[in-house]
Structure 1
Amino acid sequence: MTDDHPPRGAGGNTMLGKPVDWQKPTRSAARAQARPGSSGQAGKLRVFAVYAGAALGPLGGGVVAPMLPQIAHSLDASTSATTLTVTAYFVPFALVQLVSGTVGERWGRRRTVLLAYLVYLIASLLGTIAPNIALLLVVRAVMGTANAFISPLLLSGLADMVPPHRLSRSVGLLASCQAAGQSLSPLLGGVAAAANWRWAFVGVAAAAGLLALAPPPGGARPGPQAPRLRPLVNVRMGLLSVAAFVSYFGAAGLPFLVSLHAEEHLGIRPDLTGVALLGFGLTGLLLGASWGSLGDRLGPRRCGGIAAALGAVLVALTGSTHSLPALVLCWTGAGIAYSMLNVCLQNLTVREVPDNRGGALSAVSAFRFGGAAMAPIALLPLYHTAPPLSFVIGGSSLLLASVGLAALRSPRTGNPI
């Protein structure tokens, strides 16, 4: 056998007079390999379920906020105890995410997300029959813990389900769905409260049940292939975590501060205050996919740094507004900046540790929600002393994100930043 005569199966066969390389995958096969789980109708359904699942976490987390008075009355509980239903969800959600992504990647995304959806479903159904506030708090904690295994693994799975050139836009679209869940949760909670607050848990349970039918692909990775926590501990991940922390501490976690400013200093009615706050979340819903595309063209590091600096200015100005239109303009502008920053951070994080995407995403997300938890503790006392200064301090923290993103000069992968 000479070099002029290739062996069978290596390009020596012919079909219709043309040589055929049987070892070379066809175009459709290559496409399927590049996007596992995304081809065909079933694949499209899974991609849709990933986007819908991204809305479930913020929807289930915030749905109780408009129902707190009704829950307190129904369960004969104090207002302070009822308010803990929000805390009980988000504290375990943030803490468990420090490890949930890595654990989920080891167990397998599909199995982990399926189990988490079922736990979320059962906990939500228990919420419909909770006889007292103690059990309801347990239910909320279980829901938050389950969501810690859902949110990061959905984005991790999405990265394997779409072609690389569409990943940035897909991440932006997923961020839009998260914003949709956050924006719609007060509406669902308010509608349920008008009838019976327990119906909100029925709706959330139904959504979890449907989403459990289409978990993202991804099998278990045991032994040497198992993703590890150690690669998540590095300077670059630290910079992304700091940026994520201040993105909530200095922007997304400040609606309570804006509400106080609107009602106490501008004399705006509570219903109009809610309308004024709405623009922040709606911008994320409308612009997420666009920010993903822009990040592709200019680089997520550059776009994120600009967005953080712009957000710092707009948040600081929000605390100095003297009219409703000015408040709406500044706070909505801050929402535009935050949504760009959020998409850029998720784009950078999903590429940072390719062998453990879920772990990287969940760890950074833990710091993001840690910022939300720290904002009231750090800024509320300052607000009561010097209201405008609290906005300046909160907004200025976003500059740490600009500095951190500027320091991300050498990507760990070949992806441009």
Structure 2
Amino acid sequence: MPPALPIALLALAGFTTGAGMRMLDPLLPSVAASFGVSVPQATILVAGFVLPYGLVQLVAGPLGDRMGKLRIVCGALLLYGLGLVASGFAPALYGLVGLRAWCGFFAGAVIPLLMAHIADAVPYADRQVAISRFLTGMVMAQLIAGPVSGVVAEAAGWRLPFLLLGALALAVGAILAARLGPALWRMPEDAARGRGMAAYGDLLRRPAGRWLMGIAFCDGFLLFGGAFPFVGSFLIERFGRNAAEAGLIVAGFGLGAFVYTRLARRLLARFGERGLLMTGGALVAALLGLLAAAPGWPVVAAVQIGLGLAFYMFHGVLQTQSTEALPEARGTAVGAFALALFLGQSAGSLAFGLGLVAIGYRGAFAAAGCGVLALALWARQGTK
């Protein structure tokens, strides 16, 4: 076994990859102006990161199970950091697109494998609390990556945020390598358990594995790709907020998520897994209904904070259960969960966009709320 590592270091690794995803949000106009293209043309940079990030799950999980999860994470962090640094020197838009794809590919390997590593090291009874502490890094990336990169870019140009985050990723990768020591160069003792891509067949042959993949796809469809990404445009188009104001309001989701990371132990003790799943799902559904009926932006702001807390109450249970779907190949199971989320997110963004045309923002949010309530009931039936 590799040496035990502090959760704070793993959370910092998660922060670097989460920040890489969110940092570009306020930089697109500057990048577009720098390369002489429109902002819609520059949005290819977003897809350039997200698609490799999702698809790498197919190989990252089995590779981590076979070669060692922390070894793969360490290498991925270092290569991700190099890609960020190189992005700061990109001479043309399509060169930057290629580097964003490089960064997305290696960033996508980090969080699922770290969650699988935590599951290997922490008994199930304590696992959700440990994962919630790890998720602090991702939550903080959601909260501050965009605003900080925007401030830095305003002062020194859009290239500096890439260089600074790249330096941080390289430093975290180097610290992780140093903490692993000789284990970095050794195959893990349980490496023979890893069955490569064949482990996906093992997962899908299990009813619990199929159930979890279906739940994850619907979770991504209704929320990650459905309701959540459209709150900002709802604020701008229905309540006249500008982009900066909408961004601050939407960031309230991160505040609610951070509250969850601090309260996870008490919430789990109070409700248990099934109760936490149902309570969180019911709250998400109710808050989406309130969002659909919101008379003004202050209500949306309050709803965003509540959604952050309620969503992680619901989603946190599913994440924890994904670590137990295939204990002999946890990297593969968690990677499959992440891939199902990504596929659901991709389909959900298209479906929600069509829903906006047919029934508008309020109707689409209400429909998503009904869908989440049905999903929570289905998820509760499959939870022990």
Residues 316 and 395, structure 1, Cα contact 8 Å, conserved in 2: yes
Deviations 1:203-262 (A, max 9, x none): 221121112121586744687422433222132222222332333333344344212221
Which whole-Å CA distance do the structure 1 matches of 2:354 and 2:194 have between them? Answer: 45
Q: Which residue of 1 aligns with 2:215?
A: 243
Residues 50 and 155, structure 1, Cα contact 8 Å, conserved in 2: no
Q: Please report how far the alpha carbon of residue 66 of structure 1 lies from its aligned counterpart in structure 2 after TM superposition.
A: 0.5
Letter in 2 for 1:206: A
- Give the count of matched residue pairs: 370
Query: 152, 162, 168: which one pairs with 1:207?
Result: 168
Q: TM-score, normalised by structure 2?
A: 0.89
Deviations 1:338-397 (A, max 9, x none): 121121111111122211111111110112233332333111232133221111222223
Q: Please report how far the alpha carbon of residue 97 of structure 1 lies from its aligned counterpart in structure 2 after TM superposition.
A: 1.0
SS in 1 for 2:323: helix
Matching of residues 394-413 of structure 1 within 5 Å = 394-409=368-383
Q: Which residue of 1 aligns with 2:348?
A: 375
Letter in 1 for 2:24: V
Residues 249 and 397, structure 1, Cα contact 8 Å, conserved in 2: no
Q: Please report how far the alpha carbon of residue 88 of structure 1 lies from its aligned counterpart in structure 2 after TM superposition.
A: 1.2
Matching of residues 18-417 of structure 1 within 5 Å = 37-38=3-4, 43-44=5-6, 47-162=7-122, 165-194=125-154, 195-213=156-174, 214=176, 219-220=187-188, 224-227=192-195, 228-233=199-204, 234-253=206-225, 254-295=227-268, 298-387=271-360, 388-409=362-383, 417=384
Letter in 2 for 1:152: P
Residues 288 and 340, structure 1, Cα contact 8 Å, conserved in 2: no
Which whole-Å CA distance do the structure 2 matches of 1:352 and 1:128 have between them? Answer: 40
Which whole-Å CA distance do the structure 2 matches of 1:283 and 1:252 have between them? Answer: 16
Q: Please report how far the alpha carbon of residue 185 of structure 1 lies from its aligned counterpart in structure 2 after TM superposition.
A: 1.6
Q: Please report how far the alpha carbon of residue 169 of structure 1 lies from its aligned counterpart in structure 2 after TM superposition.
A: 1.1
Residues 21 and 49, structure 2, Cα contact 8 Å, conserved in 1: yes
Task: Specify whether residues 368 and 69 from structure 1 end up closer, same or farther in structure 2 by C-alpha distance, changes over 3 A only.
Answer: same
SS in 2 for 1:129: coil
Which whole-Å CA distance do the structure 2 matches of 1:375 and 1:57 have between them? Answer: 23
Letter in 1 for 2:203: L
Which whole-Å CA distance do the structure 2 matches of 1:222 and 1:332 have between them? Answer: 42
Identity %: 24
Structure with the higher helix share, 1 or 2: 2
Q: TM-score, normalised by structure 1?
A: 0.82
Residues 64 and 72, structure 2, Cα contact 8 Å, conserved in 1: yes
Task: Specify whether residues 58 and 397 from structure 1 end up closer, same or farther in structure 2 by C-alpha distance, changes over 3 A only.
Answer: farther
Which whole-Å CA distance do the structure 1 matches of 2:11 and 2:118 have between them? Answer: 9
Task: Specify whether residues 301 and 138 from structure 1 end up closer, same or farther in structure 2 by C-alpha distance, changes over 3 A only.
Answer: farther
